[in-house]
Structure formats: C-alpha cells, structure tokens
A and B are shown apart, each in its own frame.
Chain A
Amino acid sequence: MNDPRTPIPASGIAQIGVSVPNVSVRGPEVPRTIEALDPVFTVSGLSVFYGDYEAVRGVDMTIGNREITAMIGPSGCGKSTVLRCFNRMNDLIPGARAAGKILYHNEDLYGDHVDPIEVRRRIGMVFQKPNPFPKSIYDNIAYGPRVNGVKGKMDDIVEEALTKAALWDEVKDKIKQNALSLSGGQQQRLCIARAIAVKPDVILMDEPCSALDPIATTKIEDLMQELSRDYTIVIVTHNMQQAARVSDRTAFFTAEVDAEGVRHGRLVEFDETSRIFTNPSDKRTEDYITGRFG
C-alpha cells in the first residue's frame, strides 16, 4: 500500500483519467470510509441544518493528526458546510445547527460546556477570498495573539508566523504597510500566517486557492505540505488535481435528492487519496473524478 503521506504526482492523474473508465465498480450502499489511526476529529452521523433544511446528511469520517484531508465534490454538496462545523463557524449563521457528533481529541465539539471561541483558538481557518484586515501587515499577524491575550515578544511572534507562511522575506521591509497593498497570493499567505500566529492545532482551508493564479496556487500548495508537519490540515477544494497533489486522504461529497425531492449533501466515499483517484469503490466518485459530472 502507498504511504499516505506521499502525494500523487500530477502526472499520475492523467493516467488515472484514462484507466478508471475501464474499471467497473458498483458503489456500496454504505460509503466506504477508513479510520485514521490517530484521529483529531471523529465525525459520526453529522447532519447540518439551516433552519428546517437539512443541508448535509449523515457524514461519518475521521481526520488524521498531521495529515492533509481534502474534501471535494460539486457545488452545493455541503463540503464547506461540513468544514465550518469543525471550528463551529456555522454558529454565526442564524438558524444553523449541527446534529450528530464531532469528537475533537475525544471531546464533544458540540458539548454544552464547549466555548466556540476556545474552539476557534485551537482550530484556525483560511477563507476562499483572502480577507486581511485593513491594517498593517504586522497588526494583521499580531491581531490573533493580542485578542487571545498572548504575552511575549510580539515582534518575534510576527516574524515566526510570517516565516512559517513563507512570506517573511517578501514583506520584512514593509511590515508596517497596509496588508491590502500585497498581491492576492501574498494576502492569502498572510491569512495563513495570521492563523498560524495563534498556534493552532488544526488549520481549516475553505477553497484557499480559488481566487488565486496558478503560481500563487503552487506556493500555497507547497506551503500546505510544509505546514502539515506541524499542523492538521483540512482543505475544501473545487480542484481535484489540487486534492490529488496535496492530500493524504480525500472525502468525496455529492448532493443527492431524497425520496421527498429535497437535496442533501452526502459523503459518498472517504479514503486514502491514492485510492480515491486510482481505484474508487463508488461509481459516483469515479464519474466525478473522471469528469463525467460535476
């Protein structure tokens, strides 16, 4: 079996695209999922509601420690919704609620005693559109540590975070300049640095490269590889090649219409990335990655 930490080279994908249609696999009723050995998150029976609408139904998966887990699938399949459960970002949407269970290091993330603010200090997030604050580069990085009451030399914290995000060399001479003067790719790396500065355990990334050009995307992908040594990363992406390049495990979601004609996001298959892209066990996964739909 492949080492799950080894990303598939991009050239492998092209071959997969040719080989897969020949394989005839019938999808099982229950999604094939695998257990991460050292799970950070254990999701069981997760459903997410917006008001009465069940946007995502019955997700079971595990997120392995210091792994990169990718969530892929067509628009509206609920992958971002699931991602935003991991740091309870959905709490901010009026009417949104989660049913089922998410264990974070064996602690119920939605338990009554859990403070969402404390959750978000441990589980950082990077968004689709770079969203630096309209402040200086320095203040952007220092914001998280400051609001969390971190003591210590702020200059060092800022430098360390920017270095880890591979941005320090580019900005060290203009650290007091407005963050919005940076390019889109730099802004996104700044947002990653900002998330790192609070020393999180997990970094969630919601389509972090969808607003970036290919060169900036490559830089972010390299950075993710680098960061996965120290952090657990969960990334939602529209880009299958990206999932194949960077992730250890991949979850494929799709939207399905139930008996009453209502669309729900469902997890179809969750497996090692190499297996999802070479030998998926579900026909729908196969159709999606070979470009037949989505």
Chain B
Amino acid sequence: MSAQHLKTASGASRSLARSRPRYGEVLVKAVLMLAALVSVATTVGIVFALLEPTIEFFGEVSLGEFFGSTTWGPLFNPPAFGVWPIIVATLEITLIAIVVAVPLGLAAAIYLSEYATPRVRKIFKPVLEVLAGVPTVVFGFFALTFVTPLLRDVFPFLELEAKNGLGAGLLVGVMIIPIVASLSEDSMAAVPNGLREGSYALGASKMLTSVRVVVPAAFSGIVAAIILAISRAAGETMIVAIAGGFKSVFTLYPGDEMSTMAAFIAQAGSGDASVGSIAYKTIFAVGSLLFIMTFAMNYVSARMVQKYREVYD
C-alpha cells in the first residue's frame, strides 16, 4: 500500500500536531498547584509569624530561665518564665489520652476490619467518625461536669481537684479514638486478603491472624494514625482549658489542676495582653515550642514508619 493511497483513503492528510490549543489543561494545573500551595504557605506563614515575637521574647527572657526554672506565671506580677510546668502538663495529658485511645482505637479498628460483618462495618464506621466531629467544647464540659464528679465519687482517695489533668486527659483520649480507629482500620483493610488466607490455612485463629499478620502488615499506617492522634492531643485546647484548668504549678500528679501549653495560649490570648508586652511575646514563644514539639514528633514518626514498614506487594 503506497503513501499516496493511504492519503486518499483517509480523505485528507492529517498532521499529528495538536489541532487546537488546550488552555484548560494549563488552567487546571495552575489551580491544583495553588490548592497544594495553600497548606505549604500556611505552614511557612505560621513559622514567620511565630519567629519575630519569639526572638524578641528571648531578647528579654534568657533561655536559661525559660528552660531552667519550674515556676511559670508570665501573667503574674512579678512574672516567672520557667516553662516546665506547662510542658509537663502537656505531656501528662497527652500520655493519658494515648493510654486511653491507642488500646481502644486499635481494638475498634481490629473489630471493624477483621470481625465485623460488612453490614455492621457500614453502620459503625460512620458513627465512629461522628465522634470525631463532636465539638471539643462539648467534651470539655462533659469532662468537667460529668466525668470528674463521677471519678471523685467513685475514687475519693484520688483527691481530684475540680479541674484536673486526669479528667481532661481521659476526654482528650476519647476525642482522638476515632483518629486512631479510623486510620488504623483503613490501613488494615488495605492488607491483601491473601495474607489472611495464608494465615488461616496454617490453622491460625482469627485472633492470631489479626494480631500476628494483619496488624504487623498494617503497622506503618497504624503508627501514622497514632502520631496524628498524639499531635492532636498535644495541641488540644478547649478540653484542657475547661476541664484541666489554668493553674500552672509544677506537678506530676494528674489529679491536680494543671495548665497545658495550649491552654496557656488560650488563656493569655483571650486576656488583655497588649501587643508588644512580654505576656504577648510569651504566647508566641510557647506557640513556637509547641510547634517544634509537634513537628519533631511528626518527623521522628515519619522516619520510624520508613524503617519498620512491612511492604507486602
């Protein structure tokens, strides 16, 4: 067949060049990139907004006083800037929350992914995710007006204060259960069914299959879920402000009233700290510290996930 013949057969010679410009494609790409840039730009913006007042803060308060003292009271007269009480309170409440959320969240995830029938899963998972949508102020008042009084009645020997770290921590834990459960369930559901079949075919029970095959195979996703939950717990403000209180005395006992870093920021920010005052700059210094802590946690966990990842395909 000659080229001549081919030409006549197709009617006319058609070039392979683009027949008309596709402006839409360029536009779509630009819009999508802009959307991706928003979150990056926000992060960068936060860092810059935090940076200047933080540097000014450390011009007035030495790093030695900030990290070397355990007396916190930037809003008092005379002010004190030993940050440890609010760091410790933040860590304590985060720890309580994790102790609550990881076992419950993981158990819920294993149930949903391995045991529940598709119908139960279809009902349960959205309900669980509704829990994530409950405003944290509701959890805060629930902790203050229900959980803490209940704990005081049932365990009087704990000598809980009206506002305390334990009640706040428990409810922060409840708040982050859906994060742990939902994300872990997603990663368990992504484990290929062939692995489960392989395990069952060796005479393993459902429980052993879940714990020894599915959970390890989904490990990286589970760790990511827990890390996200920790970050949320560490930064949680409303519950701890309402149920944990604002007293920032150095204490390791969760039954005491305690102020976390986020609670301090809320307290100082809603007060009448004038722009440029030392109290105002303290907010930014504490904010920077919280930001660094969360960022470090995310970084470490990302590395950990890389290292312990079980790739199965």
The reply to whether the CB of A131 lies closer than 8 angstroms to some CB of chain B is: yes
Once the chains bind, are A129 and B203 in contact (CB under 8 Å)?
no
Contacting residues, chain B, for A125 (C-beta < 8 A): 197, 201
The reply to whether the CB of A49 lies closer than 8 angstroms to some CB of chain B is: no
Contacting residues, chain A, for B213 (C-beta < 8 A): 133, 143
Separation of A241 and B182 alpha carbons in the complex (Å): 48
* Closest partner residue, chain A, to B194 (CB atom): A131
Residue in B195, B199, B201, B208 with the greatest tally of chain A CB atoms within 10 Å = B201
In this complex, how many residues of chain B approach chain A with their Cβ under 8 Å: the count is 23
Contacting residues, chain A, for B77 (C-beta < 8 A): none
Separation of A165 and B216 alpha carbons in the complex (Å): 26
CB distance from B24 to the nearest CB of A (A): 41
The reply to whether the CB of B253 lies closer than 8 angstroms to some CB of chain A is: no
Once the chains bind, are A144 and B202 in contact (CB under 8 Å)?
yes
Given known pairs A89-B197, A133-B198, A135-B216, the reply for A180 and B203 (CB within 8 Å) is: no
Contacting residues, chain B, for A132 (C-beta < 8 A): 198
Separation of A143 and B198 alpha carbons in the complex (Å): 10
Once the chains bind, are B203 and A133 in contact (CB under 8 Å)?
no
Contacting residues, chain B, for A180 (C-beta < 8 A): 311-312
Given known pairs A129-B194, A133-B213, the reply for A143 and B201 (CB within 8 Å) is: no
The listed residue (B192, B197, B203, B311) touching A147 by CB distance below 8 A is: B203
CB distance from B13 to the nearest CB of A (A): 46
The reply to whether the CB of B204 lies closer than 8 angstroms to some CB of chain A is: yes
Contacting residues, chain B, for A94 (C-beta < 8 A): 117-118
The reply to whether the CB of A117 lies closer than 8 angstroms to some CB of chain B is: yes
Once the chains bind, are B203 and A118 in contact (CB under 8 Å)?
yes
Once the chains bind, are A147 and B217 in contact (CB under 8 Å)?
no
* Closest partner residue, chain A, to B209 (CB atom): A147
Separation of A118 and B202 alpha carbons in the complex (Å): 10
Where the two chains meet, the residues of A that have a C-beta atom closer than 8 Å to any C-beta of B are: 87, 89, 92, 94, 117-118, 120-121, 124-125, 127, 129, 131-135, 143-144, 147-148, 180, 191, 194-195, 198
